[in-house]
Structure formats: structure tokens, C-alpha cells
Structure 1
Amino acid sequence: MSERIQVFDGFCLTCTMGSSRSCICVPSSHGVSISGKNQATVMDCKSGTNIPPFGTCRKEDPQKPCSPVILTPWLIDDKNYTINNEPVLFTTSILSCACGGIIRIKGKS
């Protein structure tokens, strides 16, 4: 996805090491919603809360269930748009998993 779009609850995610797609979860509002769904910020990066598993992890041999290990916030290219002093999450952002995967936003579910 090359177009930069603001991300909200339910956008699809992929991981280069995962066997299936997932969707970002933004369970609490930062004060802004789009079409009734909570808008995401770079801090919506917690495994289990915001980032669900991606099926099985290809890094493991034999493959085991995915359990994302996220150590840093989303990497973004524009910090000019914020909600409560947190940069807004856009579809051009990426997130690294300590298991070796790169998580990308693929668009609306």
C-alpha cells in the first residue's frame, strides 16, 4: 500500500514471518474516531492488546504458534500529526517483531 492513510481499529496487518493476516486492535479511544472506530497512534503496538498473533511463525522449525514480541513503537515517517502528543499511525508505518518479522499495515478489513 503506497497511499498514506490514517489507521483505525480493524485495519489488516501482515507479518513477514507469520502464516496469516491479523487486524490491529485499538480498544480504547485516544479521543478521535473515524467512522465510529478508534484511531490508532504509534503507541498502539502492544502484543496481545493491539497486535494479535499471525497464525504460525515461519522463523521456528518446526513452526510454532505466533506470539509477536514487540519492543519498540511503530516506525513512522511523519510526526507532524498527533493525538494527545502521540504521533498518528499511518499505513506507511512498520513495526518490528523480535522474532524477525516486519509487520505492515495492509488496509481496511
Structure 2
Amino acid sequence: MPFQCCMGSQMKCSMGASPSALIPTPKPIMTNSKVAANIMDHIPIANIPPFGMCKSPANPTVAAATAAAMGTLTPMPCVPATPAPWVPGAPTVLVANFPALDNTSKLMCLWAGVIEFSDAGQTNHQIP
């Protein structure tokens, strides 16, 4: 069974250079004494900090820098673009009226990155 994600869950992006930690929106629901996350915790910068440098050619800043470097891929600072919620979440467990976020959920970035968890932030609470 997957683990429930919470404050400090480690994430990685397929187009990012470094990991990042989830920052759930404050809510009264806790897991292992940390703020629990739900699928709506997808807001760039507020919930999803940058992943270092972005290497996606779909990112306009990377595309511009790559063009300026005569076609040599030039990574640029990551600014996540995540307009849709995490999928699928755990629909049988609600956190603040939305499905809980588990460590098997994924988040799609507009710049072609896939964000997933490398660590749920806790190992005491499993959710179906």
C-alpha cells in the first residue's frame, strides 16, 4: 500500500536537475505530526518549489537559451508550471474534502516534466 504524503515529502522532476520538498497548504489534518497533503497541493512555488535547473526544450526559457547557444541544450532555472492537480491520489481517503496525496501519485508540468515522489516524508501511515 502507498504511504500518505506530507510536509517535506521529497519529489523529483524528470526534467529537473535536483530534488525538491513538497510544501502542503496548511490544514488541520496531520500525518505523523506533519501537515497532510491532498491532490490540490499543486500550486507552483507555494506547494511545488523549483527543481534546480530545467532541461526541457518545451520550456520557453530553455528553448530561447538553447537557440542563443546555436542549438546546444542550455538548462535554465526551473519554474514549475503545474495547473492541474496530482493524479490519481487516494479517492477513498479525504484530506480537507479532497483525495489524499499518496507517494504513487504524479503531477504533470506544462514543460513536459513528470513530477513524482522519491520519499513520502513519513513511513507510519499507509492509505489504500
- Counterpart of 1:106? 118
Q: Which has the higher helix share?
A: 2
Pick aligned residue for 1:96 from 108, 119, 122? 108
**Displaced runs of 4+ in structure 1, greater than 4 A?**
none
- 5+ residue gaps, structure 1, are none
Give RMSD over aligned pairs.
Answer: 1.5
Alignment of 1:1-109 (within 5 A): 3-29=1-27, 31-59=28-56, 60=62, 61=66, 62-76=74-88, 78-107=90-119, 108=121
Alignment check: 8 A CA contact 2:25 2:41 kept:
no
Residue 4 of structure 1: SS of its match in structure 2?
coil
Q: 1:59-106 deviations in whole A, cap 9, x for unaligned?
A: 123211000001100011531111232000000100000011000011
Distance 2:83 2:49 in 1: 15
Between the two proteins, the alignment pairs up a number of residues equal to 106
Instruction: Check whether the contact 2:2–2:103 (CA below 8 A) recurs between aligned residues.
Output: yes
Distance (Å, rounded) in 1 between the aligned partners of 2:10 and 2:37 = 13
TM-score, reference length from structure 2: 0.78
SS of the equivalent of 1:80 reads strand
What is residue 126 of structure 2 aligned with on the other side? Answer: none
CA distance in 2 between partners of 1:40 and 1:52 (Å): 15
Q: Report how far residue 35 of structure 1 moved.
A: 2.5
Q: 2: CA distance between counterparts of 1:66 and 1:99?
A: 10
